[in-house]
Every structure is written in structure tokens, then in C-alpha cells.
Amino acid sequence: MSDESKDSTGEAPTTTSASEASTEARDPEVIRADIEGTREELGDTVAALAEKADVKAQAKKRADETKERVKAKAEEIRGKAQDSSPESANAAASQAAQVARENPAPAAAAGVLLAFLLGWLLGRR
């Protein structure tokens, strides 16, 4: 052997594999921390798989999501209907009742005319 291949004690260095060197160099606390991290990841994976396998819960979740979408759409349509009408139906009915109270004769005449027309149309059959 040449002098260059000997270590400071005069003996040839021993060879160790990379896995042995990394195991020897690792602190037990680091190993425990790695194990704990792996356990947490495994727990999360198992929980995710269990959730995917629960068909009943998935169906309930989809039904709830659909209900929320339908409610939101109904609110949107209701808002558009209120915005598009110049007056709400209650306001129009209230206004018609007020006019009838202020002028009962024209309202009564309109009622008589309507009754006559309905009677005439029904009598033709």
C-alpha cells in the first residue's frame, strides 16, 4: 500500500456504505421526528381514503351543495323579478283599493260591467 492510502494512524481506512454512514450520523431525536412526520402523513392519507370511500357522506355533501345552489338561484331570480317590476304586487293592489275607496261609483260600475260580460260569455255556451 502506498502512504497516500493510509490514514493518520497508519492503517488503511475502513469502508462503510452510505446507508451505514447516514444511520450512524443521524441523531435519535431526528429519527423520532422523521417517524412522527411519517405517521402524521400516513394518518392524513388514511383519513382522505376513508372520506372517499364513504359514499353516504359524499351523497349527502352533494345534496347539500345542490340545495345551496338552488337557494342561491332562487334568491337571484327573486331579486331580478323585484328589480324588473316597476311596482310590487302589494303596492299595485293597495293603490287600486285606495282608488276604489275614493271613487266607489266607478268601481261599482266596473264591477257591474264585468259581471254582465261574464254572464253573457257563460250564457253563450
Span 58-94, pLDDT tens digits: 889 899 999 999 999 888 888 877 666 655 666 777 7
**Model confidence pLDDT, tens digit, residues 94-105:** 777 787 778 778
Average pLDDT, stretch 2-26?
A: 55
* Torsion sign across C-alpha atoms 91, 97, 99, 101: negative
Write the DSSP assignment of 12-28 as a string of letters: PPPP--HHHHHHHHS-H
| pLDDT score at 1 | 47
Whether the predicted pLDDT of 13 surpasses 70: no
For residue 107 the three cell numbers come to 268601481
Q: Which amino acid is at 93?
A: A
The residue among 68 and 4 whose pLDDT is bigger is 68
CA–CA distance, 12 with 5 (Å, rounded to integer) = 6
CA–CA distance, 81 with 92 (Å, rounded to integer) = 15
**Model confidence pLDDT, tens digit, residues 17-41:** 555 555 567 899 999 999 999 999 9
CA–CA distance, 97 with 89 (Å, rounded to integer) = 12
